[in-house]
Amino acid sequence: RDSNDRDVCLEWNAIAITSNIFDHKGKAKSAQDLSLTMGPVASARAFAMMHTAMFVAYNCEKKTHDNSYPAGHPIHDINCTGVSTLCAVAQAVHDVMCGGEGKDIIGLFEEDQDDQDICDMADTALRNALSREEDKDKCKKGTEAGREIASYVLMERANDGYGTENRTLKDEMYVPPSGNSPGYHMPDAENPEQGVLGAGFGKVKAFLLTREELKKFSVEDAPGVTVNEMTGEVKFDLDNNEDYLAALMEVKELGVFRGGKSGE
């Protein structure tokens, strides 16, 4: 394989990591503003979108693997014949981050003025990547394919429950039950009412699992937890539940759950 093909994935993975640092460090943002970026859950969504674009672009001509889009999705119809993988990957990830040529698609970071340094970095990295491809015709085909891939990735997530109109999901301020017993949430002593970052993120569409598939992962079998079948209300009885306490101690001691019986 051409080393440029491999290097472009490592290169844009590093750019994704750096963009995440820039996005959360803030320039003149207060701690409250920073908390509304939803931290790790927002990062997970952004990384998933960038790496989806990277994978589809890398696999565009090679077609060595299936991607996660279902049969019949228009992303499979993108013309990848004779494309430069280097240019396709660079363009696809760049556009997911910062939008396409003429700004006909809105990237993840370009809306926020505080994130301009991210797009400046991405623009420079894109120019550098494209300049490394000696075959300009292949590069042109690669950038065209990359733009299409990015537009589909962004469109697919436009109405996923996180969208720009409610970017922070800040209305979902869930404060979990707290207490001094093992297994309970321990609030910040200086800010006990701050809630949990990204608690509403469960409403965001999953990347691979459907809602019906997610419902199979139930808390009903967890020790010390009961679920009201009519209302869906979850109740915890953790203080006096021997199974729960045994499981908790096992995880604390071994770092893994083996049925609450450490000797087995």
Per-residue pLDDT in tens (0 to 9) along the chain, 264 residues: 455 556 899 999 999 998 888 777 654 444 444 444 556 777 888 899 999 999 999 998 888 888 778 888 888 889 999 999 999 999 999 999 988 765 566 788 765 555 678 888 999 999 999 999 999 999 999 999 999 999 999 988 888 877 544 444 555 556 666 667 666 777 777 877 766 666 677 778 888 776 666 666 655 556 667 767 666 566 767 666 777 777 777 777 777 767 666 544
User: Do 125 and 94 meet the contact criterion of CB atoms below 8 Å apart?
Assistant: yes
Q: pLDDT at position 41, please?
A: 79
Report the C-alpha dihedral over residues 124, 128, 130, 135, rounded to 10 degrees: 160
Backbone conformation region of residue 79, classed left if phi is above 0, alpha if psi is from -120 to 50, else beta: beta
* Pairing of the two strands 225-227 and 234-236: antiparallel
Residue 153 identity (one-letter amino acid): V
How far is 104 from 124, CA to CA, in rounded Å? 20
Report the C-alpha dihedral over residues 142, 15, 27, 166, rounded to 10 degrees: 60
**DSSP reduced 3-state for 241:** coil
Q: pLDDT at position 231, please?
A: 64
Which neighbouring-strand residues pair with 226?
235
User: Do 199 and 173 meet the contact criterion of CB atoms below 8 Å apart?
Assistant: yes
What element of type H or E holds 154?
helix 136-157
Q: What pTM did the predictor assign?
A: 0.71
Residues in the chain: 264
If you compute the radius of gyration of the chain from its CA atoms, what whole number of angstroms results? 23
Q: Which residues contact 16 (CB under 8 A, 6 or more apart)?
A: 46, 47, 50, 51, 93, 97
How far is 78 from 23, CA to CA, in rounded Å? 31
